[in-house]
Each structure stands twice: as structure tokens, then as C-alpha cells.
Amino acid sequence: MYTSTFTFAKSEFDDEFHALDNVIARLAESIPGYLGEESWENPETGLISNVYYWKTMEALQELIGHPAHIAAKQRQARWLKGYQVVIAQVVRCYGDGGISHPLAN
């Protein structure tokens, strides 16, 4: 399994951003191997992190190579003050079952 974590400082979101973000979200959900996502916001820094979970690297690559994702990456400076992406392989995941999590199966 893999994660792709997208951390960003937002600027102004317009209708085009919301439309493109919705297309990418629906696309990700439609890709076999997409396992779910979580979002976090740090109120002290204003940074937002979206963590996406993938069964395979190929599934993640399908999203990354899609024209809608490429278009968003090309236009990101219009909507973001900066961003960082971290792609990692999940070595282990466990919990007590007390909270819902995309990898809790």
C-alpha cells in the first residue's frame, strides 16, 4: 500500500478550482486501488494535508498521469501559496478499531 500526502497553503479558491477539485476527487474514487483519504488542517500554520491511500503504485500513477490532475498541477499557483507532496509506502497499519480509517479493514 501507498500514501500520497498533499500538504498546501491555500490562497483564493474560485469556481474553476472547485470544479477541477471535484473532477479529480471523483476520478480518484473511480480508480481501482483507491482506498480512501483523510484531511487535516493545522490551525497554527494554516496548512492543510490531504492523505490519499492506494493499494498499488500503479493506481496512484493512474491519477497522477490523468489530464485533469496535470491541469491542476499546472494551475496550482493560482490557488495555492505553496505545496509539498510526499509519496510513501505503508509498512504497517493497526489500531484498536475505535475510529474509522481507510486502512482499518
The residue among 105, 88, 100 whose CA lies nearest residue 51 is 88
59, pLDDT greater than 90: yes
Q: What is the pLDDT of residue 42?
A: 95
**Whole-prediction pTM:** 0.86
Q: What is the pLDDT of residue 76?
A: 87
Mean pLDDT of the chain, nearest integer: 92
Which residues, including other chains, have CB under 8 Å from residue 87's CB and lie 6 or more apart? 2, 3, 4, 5, 60
